[in-house]
Amino acid sequence: MLDRHAVSGWCARSLVAAVATLSIAAGAAQSASAASRGTEGREVMSVARAVMGEQHLAGLILRVDRGNRHVVTAALGESMTGVPVTRGMHFRMGSESIPYLTTILLQLQQEGRLDLDDPLSKYLPDSGVPNADRVTLRMLGHSISGYPDWIQGNQAFVDILLANPFRLWNDQELLDHAFAQPLICEPGACFHYAHTNFLLLGQVVTAVTGQPFAKLVRRRIFRPLGLRDTTITRTAKMPEPALHAYGTDRGPYEDTSSWSPSWGLGKGQLMVSTIDDVAASARSILGARLISRSSERQFVERPAVIKTPIPGLSYGLGVLLAGDWRVQNPYVNNYGGVMAYLPDERLSISIVATKGMNADFDGGNPSETVLARLADTIAPGHPARLPGTG
């Protein structure tokens, strides 16, 4: 007959051995994971340094995450002569705030407060906007309204803007410049990206809720995501430390950081942020964590009318769809940004870049090149081809 104390001792020793084995296995797994993360981080840094040199960038900040696991953050180059770029520097977001807007629209639809298939005239009956009774909110979100932009393709506006880049523009002035031009096409008949669409959608949100868009975005986006370093501002002022940007828009190479951003989007949609807050937005906004599954499907729907020369490139509801990637790629006052998310791998990439004196200022947004190279390197099989990368 077995002694129960002996059995008890054997069980205890076996349990200790099992726990020790599990601990060793867990430690080995953690070490392997850390090694993998270290290798991936080195690959990211190699790509970042290569593009910095090839494109003659002044500064570059990027962050890569897989799910909730941080892979690497890099801050390279100089903000000003003798002032190194740092991780906590603030920069202009540009159109990276547009998915905040479309997220709020989808939330309001979930709450039964609006319908994306309603015409614009239902919410802005006195806007005076052409075809307001035929253009739906969904068409605006997909940029298939046929509305012209006030800056793209409008040299007259560009000339006024560059003559005084410090001017503070209001929404109505921007709309007046947009609709002084012919309409691009009939509602729903073609894709034409225009800031006009998103300015109008911002006005719709305010009309539906009775609250300024800035207040809504703070409550519905900033607070849930803990975005403590993202600021809404139509003026040139940025919190310190600030990343400086440079351009040749007016001829000489000059600092454009203090130029007014107010020409870019509607009231309440112009923002300044940091790489860590943009990374949180990439994971949660592009990852559709604040909306339902049904709303997510609408967020990434690809209208059949949208045709592009790059395979896999389309436009969802205020978001660029590049193959399997969800992307925003703003270029505003010479801040070139990218906010990207790959759902298949829960991979998020956030980038901002500024150009040096010898850079190609007709070459578009350099952050698109960084994203394309990173996608090929750390997400093989998921290319991220954008307009500036072919």
Over residues 250-287, the pLDDT tens digits come to 999 999 999 999 999 999 999 999 999 999 999 999 99
Q: Can you point out the beta strands (E) in 33-93?
A: 57-66, 69-80, 83-84, 91-92
* Ramachandran angles phi, psi of 286, nearest 5°: -70, -25
Fill in the amino acid letter for 323: G
Candidates 3.40.50.970, 3.20.20.450, 3.40.710.10, 3.40.47.10; CATH matching 36-378: 3.40.710.10
Instruction: Determine whether 233 is exposed, middle or buried from the number of CB atoms within 10 Å of its CB (0-12, 13-18, 19+).
Output: middle
State if pTM tops 0.75: yes
Hunting for tokens 């040139």 — which residue is that? 236
Over residues 34-89, the pLDDT tens digits come to 546 689 999 999 999 999 999 999 999 999 999 999 999 999 999 999 999 999 99
Over residues 147-190, the pLDDT tens digits come to 999 999 999 999 999 999 999 999 999 999 999 999 999 999 99
Which has the minimum average pLDDT: 13-27, 73-87, 362-376?
A: 13-27
Q: What pLDDT, on the 0 to 100 scale, is given for residue 38?
A: 83
Rounded mean pLDDT, 318-339: 97
User: How far is it, in rounded angstroms, from Cα 150 to Cα 334?
Assistant: 18
Rounded mean pLDDT, 345-373: 97
Q: Tell me the pLDDT of the chain averaged across its residues.
A: 91
Question: Crossing angle of helices 171-179/195-209, nearest 10°?
Answer: 130
Residue 19 has pLDDT above 90, yes or no: no
In sequence order, the 6+-apart residues with CB closer than 8 A to the CB of 14 are none
Residue 390 has pLDDT above 90, yes or no: no
Look at residues 325, 327, 338 and name the one whose alpha carbon lies nearest to residue 364.
338
- Token pair recorded at residue 124: 């802005």
* Ramachandran angles phi, psi of 115, nearest 5°: -135, 125
* Higher local confidence (pLDDT), 23 or 50: 50
In sequence order, the 6+-apart residues with CB closer than 8 A to the CB of 390 are 310
Show me where the domains of the chain are located. Answer: 36-378
